[in-house]
């Protein structure tokens, strides 16, 4: 069968690209090796993890916070099986919704594993049977997979990736998380709230690498206060299985030997592009030293007619980044002006409080010798935050010292995954801190922290 566009992978980048291609009138197919659409994000990533984060936040609120408002909840209990059932229900509804969108847009879905036989020809194998699918344009959107440590192979029971950590059938008494990045912090939060003694071991001297340093320090302080333990500047070197537990050996940067007894180990040391088995060597697609596919500004690989987006190319491994790249790539294929502004892609950690960041950090601007001004405003000085008893954190805006153009926004606090979007929009249009400061914000809202931080850039906040 022959198509105008064939997309390999039905994750956020792939399925969105397929839908946009079909909207543009291109005959479109999508090949997915899984039995459901949505890829890692919808099936074993973003969506199930956010469902569990929300569920455990409700439990934590009922157990520890509602009493402050006179709402007394006694003997609050966790039904883990029901919580997991709700998670699966959300996943099923969303993945079946994508199948419905494919049907609506007349996208042909091939279930199976794709391999290049030629630049415009793929073999699709399922259950030992193969068929040929041809495309004038083929878009690789196969995503990424968890990195496995050689001495800690995944069994998804005791030593787990993020996939296994989303499906524990019992609450671990002790959980050790290797890696203090987004996934480790989020899933560590989930099981900590449910009663696990969580220890995070991080090779570097900080958590949340890539985020603003001040945000990372504040998040570390809050998570420690909430009961998580952290071992920074520490490298895990080995594992030994005992009869009923696991012993991890580790070494600090100063050479001190340590050991940790635990019941479960969650390994979150990063992800790698998933290109294995695609047959890229058959057609000569160029790769970089990290195993990513090289593309130009139009997402074209070194092979004419073959494109790549998302986690398999350079840049942050984020679902929303992949979505925008997928749209831009097929719009280019259709002769339109698809474009992604990489300077305004937000990064979010869905702990509580949440963390959100967009644009440049202070460290980056210092390294680039860019003069800037900073405005900060704490949630404890915001009336709505006080009303809802969520006063941890702050909003920090960074503006060019000469032009006042917003260069970065860094937030930690309640619902900042939503608040950051105002600043993404302002930065997309080249706006300034003064533009935000002069915009009317409803009262009382959490959004007023953004306005006050913008006022603070010029040294004129009202409420501090």
Q: Which CATH superfamily is domain 344-457 in?
A: FAD/NAD-linked reductase, C-terminal dimerisation domain (3.30.390.30)
pLDDT tens figures, 105-114: 999 999 999 9
- Could you tell me if 413 and 449 are in contact, meaning their C-beta atoms sit under 8 angstroms apart? yes
Residue of 64, 339, 443, 463 marked active site: 443
pTM, two decimals, is: 0.96
Q: Which long-range contacts (CB under 8 A, 24 or more apart) does 331-339 make?
A: 331/20, 331/24, 332/298, 332/299, 333/5, 333/21, 333/26, 333/137, 333/307, 334/21, 334/24, 334/25, 334/26, 336/24, 338/298
Q: Which residue has the tokens 């892609």?
A: 345
Residue 219: pLDDT band (50, 70, 90) is: very high
Residue 64 annotated as catalytic: no
pLDDT tens figures, 325-345: 999 999 999 999 999 999 999
What order of strands is seen across the sheet that includes strand 372-378? 347-349, 354-359, 406-413, 394-400, 372-378
Query: Is the peptide bond prior to 353 cis by the omega test (within 30 degrees of 0)?
Result: yes
DSSP H or E stretch at residue 101: helix 80-104
CATH hierarchy code of domain 2-146+272-340: 3.50.50.60
For 159-269, CATH number out of 3.40.50.300, 3.50.50.60, 3.10.20.90, 3.90.700.10 equals 3.50.50.60
Q: How far apart are CA 138 and CA 38, in angstroms?
A: 19
What was the pLDDT predicted at 100? 98
The ranges of the chain annotated as CATH 3.50.50.60 are 2-146+272-340, 159-269
pLDDT tens figures, 22-36: 999 999 999 999 999
What was the pLDDT predicted at 463? 97
In the chain, what percentage of residues exceed pLDDT 70?
100
Q: How far apart are CA 138 and CA 159, in angstroms?
A: 36
Pairing label, strands 271-273, 264-267: unpaired
């Amino acid at each position: 069968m022959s198509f105008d566009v064939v997309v390999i992978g039905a994750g956020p980048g792939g399925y969105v690209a397929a839908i946009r291609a079909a909207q543009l009138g291109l005959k479109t197919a999508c090949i997915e090796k899984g039995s459901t659409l949505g890829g890692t994000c919808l099936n074993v990533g973003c969506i199930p993890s956010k469902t569990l984060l929300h569920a455990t936040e409700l439990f934590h609120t009922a157990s520890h916070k509602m009493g402050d408002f006179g709402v007394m909840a006694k003997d609050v209990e966790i039904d883990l099986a029901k919580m997991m059932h709700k998670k699966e229900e959300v996943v099923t509804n969303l993945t079946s919704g994508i199948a419905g969108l494919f049907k609506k847009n007349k996208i042909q879905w091939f279930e199976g594993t794709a391999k290049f036989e030629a630049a415009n020809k793929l073999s699709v194998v399922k259950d030992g049977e193969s068929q040929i699918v041809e495309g004038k344009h083929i878009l690789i959107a196969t995503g990424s997979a968890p990195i496995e440590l050689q001495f800690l192979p995944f069994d998804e029971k005791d030593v787990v990736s993020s996939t296994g950590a989303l499906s524990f059938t019992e609450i671990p008494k002790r959980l050790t998380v290797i890696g203090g990045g987004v996934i480790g912090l989020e899933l560590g939060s989930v099981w900590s709230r449910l009663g696990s003694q969580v220890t995070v071991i991080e090779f570097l001297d900080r958590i949340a690498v890539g985020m603003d340093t001040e945000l990372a320090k504040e998040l570390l302080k809050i998570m420690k206060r909430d009961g998580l333990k952290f071992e920074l500047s520490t490298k895990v070197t080995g594992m030994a299985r005992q009869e009923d537990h696991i012993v991890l050996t580790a070494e600090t940067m100063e050479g001190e030997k340590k050991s940790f007894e635990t019941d479960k180990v969650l390994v979150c040391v990063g992800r790698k592009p998933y290109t294995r088995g695609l047959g890229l060597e058959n057609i000569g697609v160029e790769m970089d030293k990290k195993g990513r596919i090289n593309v130009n500004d139009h997402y074209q690989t070194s092979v004419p007619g073959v494109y790549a987006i998302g986690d398999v190319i350079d840049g942050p491994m984020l679902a929303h980044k992949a979505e925008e790249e997928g749209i831009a790539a097929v719009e280019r294929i259709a002769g339109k002006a698809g474009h992604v502004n990489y300077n305004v892609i937000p990064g979010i950690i869905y702990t509580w409080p949440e963390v959100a960041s967009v644009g440049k950090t202070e460290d980056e601007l210092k390294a680039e010798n860019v003069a800037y001004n900073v405005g900060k405003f704490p949630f404890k000085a915001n009336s709505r935050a006080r009303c809802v008893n969520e006063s941890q954190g702050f909003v920090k805006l960074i503006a060019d010292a000469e032009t006042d153009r917003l260069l970065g926004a860094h937030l930690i606090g309640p619902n900042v995954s939503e608040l950051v979007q105002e600043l993404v929009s302002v930065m997309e249009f080249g706006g300034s801190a003064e533009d935000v400061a002069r915009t009317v914000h409803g009262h009382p809202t959490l959004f007023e922290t953004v306005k006050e931080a913008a006022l603070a850039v010029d040294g004129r906040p009202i409420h501090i």
